[in-house]
Structure 1
Amino acid sequence: MLKLEDLFMRKRLVFRVDDIGYTPAYDMGVFKVFEAGIGSSADVMFDSPDAVEALKRLKDMPWLSVGWHRHLWESPVLPKEEVPSMVDEEGRFKWRHRHPELMDEVTYSDAYREFDAEMKLCMDVLGRYPDYATARPVKNDLEQAFKDILDKYGIVYGYFTSAPGHHMHAKADRQYEDLHIYSVNIQPEHGFKLKYFDEYDPLSVMVSPVWTEQEEIYFYGWHPGYCDDHIMKESSCNLHRCKEHEACMSDAYREWIISNQIELISMKDAIYGTNDFQEHLKEINSPLYFGTLQE
C-alpha cells in the first residue's frame, strides 16, 4: 500500500540572513527581506556599527531565530584598553578581513571578556540570547573562549553538516545528527571578486537545493542588503549583496518556493522542532505559508 510520505516529499528550508548590524544601509535592505517573509533567521554581528539598532528591530520580530555571526570585523564592545590583545592602534579588531592568523595572538581572558560583553549587550537590547552560533574547528584561546561562552549561555553550535560540494567541511555533533540539517554552499567559483561580478548569479543557487529524504533540512546564508562606502572599502562581498537582495525578492524566487511547496522555517524551528516562522506567515496571510501551498 502506498504511504503518504511516498507521495509527498517534505522540503524544509532555512533562509538565513548574515552580517546583520554591518551598517545602516546594509540593514535597510535585509529588513525588507524579513518583512517580505523570505528571511527566516537573522545572524547578527554584535561588534558592528548598526548592531544595537538592528537588535531593537529584531526584538519586534520574535518569529525570527537569531544567530551569533561572529566575524569580529569591526570593534569590540568593550573599551580597547580592556582587550589589548584583540585590537590595533585604532581600537578595531587587528585582523579585520584579511589576517585571521592574528586571532592566534589573542589571550583567553581578553576573548572571554569580550564575548561575555557581547552577550550582555544582546540580552540588554534583544531581551534574549542567540539561538545558535557557528564555532570554528580551530584550536586557539579565542575559539576556546568562544565555545565556553556559548556553553555558559546555552547557545547551540555544532548542529549542521556540509552538503555535498560545499567549500568548507562541517559535520554535526553526534547529539544533533538526527536533525539532518545541511548547509548549502553559496560561495561562487571565483569568490567575491568584482572582475567576475557580471557572472554572479545568486538566484541559480537559491533555487538549487534538491531534497531526497523526508528528514532533510537545508539552509543557506546570504547577504541580501544594500551596499555603502564602508562595505566597499572593507569587504570583497560588496555589490554582490545588492544582487542577492534582488534575487531573493524576485518573483522568480517566490514562484520557486510556491511551485515546489518549500516549507520555510527558522533555524530555531529546525533545531527545536517549533513552528514559529510558519505561524508568522499564516498570521500575515503570506502566499508563502506552507498550509496555503498544500491547498
Structure 2
Amino acid sequence: MINLIVNADDFGYSPGVNYGILHSFLNGIVNSATMMMNMDGTAQALIMAKQYPGLRTGVHLVLTCGNPLLSDCKTLTKKDGTFKSQGDLEGISLDELEREWSAQIERFIAAGLTPSHLDSHHHVHTREEFLPVVQSLSQKYGLPFRVNGDMPIKGVKSYTDRCLLDFYGDGIQEDYFSRLAERAEDGETVEVMVHPAFADHLLIEGSSYNLQRIKELEILCSAKLPSDIKLL
C-alpha cells in the first residue's frame, strides 16, 4: 500500500487559487496545502484553513514572489522592494533569510493555526547555500520539510519519503494518479505537488503558470485512485 499526500502549493496567492484548492479538497483528492504568507489572498486563505481543519496546511516559504513581510532585509529584494527573481539569488544574507522566513511562519501561527510542514515557492529551500536556515527552522519549529524528489534534506525531518514534482505543465495527464504505483515502493508515503486554481486576474497577470491550473483542478476532482494507493 502506498500512502498518498496530494499537496496544493500556492494557497494564498489569490482568491482564484484559494477557491481552486478548497474545491479540490472538498470534491477531489487534494488533502494537503502550503500557504504563501505574503500575497493578496493570504488573509482569505488563513480564514479558509481555520474553517476546514481537515485540510492539513503548512507554510509555503517565499523568496521569489511578491514582497517580504519584513522591511529590513535588503539582500532579499530588488530596488523596488519586491523579492528577487528565481535566477538572481546571489548575495542572500542567511540571517535576513531566516528572519524573513521565521516571520512568514509566525504569521501563520499568529492566526491560530498549527503548520503541518514546510516547503517553498520555486523549491528554494533545496538550494545548498540555504541549508543552514532550513535546518535551523526545522529544529526551531519542530516541522518537517518537503524532500527534494526522493532525496531527504540533510539534518531535516522529511514530510514524506518521496515527492513527485512532475504533475505540472506537459506532465498533467488524466491517468497520472492511476499510474503512481509504478513510481513508488510498497509502504512509502508519497507527496505529489499540484497547483489547482480557478483563474482570476491576479493569477493571469502575476503568473505564467495560470490556465494550466484549471486543467489540474479538473483532473484532481475526477481522479480515481487504484486500490493499492490510499490518501493519508
TM-score between the two structures when normalised by the length of structure 2 = 0.83
Which amino acid is the alignment partner of residue 180 of structure 2? P
Partner of residue 202, structure 2: 230
Show structure 1 runs of 5+ residues with no match: 1-9, 163-169, 193-198, 266-295
What secondary structure is seen at the aligned counterpart in 2 of 1:12?
Answer: strand
Partner of residue 270, structure 1: none
1:202 equivalent in alignment to 2:173: yes
1:239 to 205, 211, 216: 211
Q: Is the 8 Å Cα contact of residues 161 and 188 (structure 2) preserved in structure 1?
A: yes
Separation in structure 2 between the aligned mates of residue 35 and residue 187 of structure 1, nearest angstrom: 20
What secondary structure is seen at the aligned counterpart in 2 of 1:102?
Answer: coil
2:82 to 92, 117, 131: 92
CA deviation digits over 1:164-200, x for unaligned, max 9?
A: xxxxxx34658869x9722224255xxx4xxxxxx66
Q: CA deviation at 1:66?
A: 2.0
Partner of residue 110, structure 2: 124
1:103 to 67, 89, 93: 89
1:136 equivalent in alignment to 2:125: yes
Please give the residue correspondences for 1:6-25 in structure 2 after superposition, counting only pairs within 5 Å.
Answer: 10-25=1-16
1:260 equivalent in alignment to 2:227: yes
What secondary structure is seen at the aligned counterpart in 1 of 2:4?
Answer: strand
CA deviation digits over 1:139-167, x for unaligned, max 9?
A: 33x553343223211111265752xxxxx
Separation in structure 1 between the aligned mates of residue 57 and residue 48 of structure 2, nearest angstrom: 12
What secondary structure is seen at the aligned counterpart in 2 of 1:215?
Answer: coil
Separation in structure 1 between the aligned mates of residue 186 and residue 44 of structure 2, nearest angstrom: 39
Q: Is the 8 Å Cα contact of residues 5 and 192 (structure 2) preserved in structure 1?
A: yes
Partner of residue 214, structure 1: 186
TM-score between the two structures when normalised by the length of structure 1 = 0.67
Partner of residue 34, structure 1: 25
What secondary structure is seen at the aligned counterpart in 1 of 2:137?
Answer: helix
Q: Is the 8 Å Cα contact of residues 68 and 100 (structure 2) preserved in structure 1?
A: yes
1:248 equivalent in alignment to 2:220: yes
Separation in structure 2 between the aligned mates of residue 104 and residue 118 of structure 1, nearest angstrom: 21
Q: Indicate how the Cα distance of structure 1 residues 150 and 248 shifts in structure 2: closer, same or farther if over 3 A, else same.
A: same
What secondary structure is seen at the aligned counterpart in 2 of 1:103?
Answer: coil
Separation in structure 2 between the aligned mates of residue 236 and residue 184 of structure 1, nearest angstrom: 21
Separation in structure 1 between the aligned mates of residue 18 and residue 200 of structure 2, nearest angstrom: 11
Separation in structure 1 between the aligned mates of residue 210 and residue 156 of structure 2, nearest angstrom: 37
1:56 equivalent in alignment to 2:27: no
Q: Indicate how the Cα distance of structure 1 residues 180 and 27 shifts in structure 2: closer, same or farther if over 3 A, else same.
A: closer
Q: Indicate how the Cα distance of structure 1 residues 37 and 48 shifts in structure 2: closer, same or farther if over 3 A, else same.
A: same
Q: CA deviation at 1:91?
A: 2.2
Show structure 2 runs of 5+ residues with no match: none
What secondary structure is seen at the aligned counterpart in 1 of 2:6?
Answer: strand
Separation in structure 2 between the aligned mates of residue 243 and residue 125 of structure 1, nearest angstrom: 32
Flag the structure with larger Rg: 1
Which amino acid is the alignment partner of residue 84 of structure 1? K
Q: Indicate how the Cα distance of structure 1 residues 174 and 155 shifts in structure 2: closer, same or farther if over 3 A, else same.
A: closer
What secondary structure is seen at the aligned counterpart in 2 of 1:219?
Answer: strand
1:182 equivalent in alignment to 2:170: no
Q: Indicate how the Cα distance of structure 1 residues 139 and 176 shifts in structure 2: closer, same or farther if over 3 A, else same.
A: closer
1:145 to 133, 146, 157: 133
Q: Is the 8 Å Cα contact of residues 12 and 40 (structure 2) preserved in structure 1?
A: yes
Identity %: 21
Q: CA deviation at 1:137?
A: 3.8
1:114 equivalent in alignment to 2:106: no
Separation in structure 1 between the aligned mates of residue 5 and residue 181 of structure 2, nearest angstrom: 14
Greater share of helix? 1
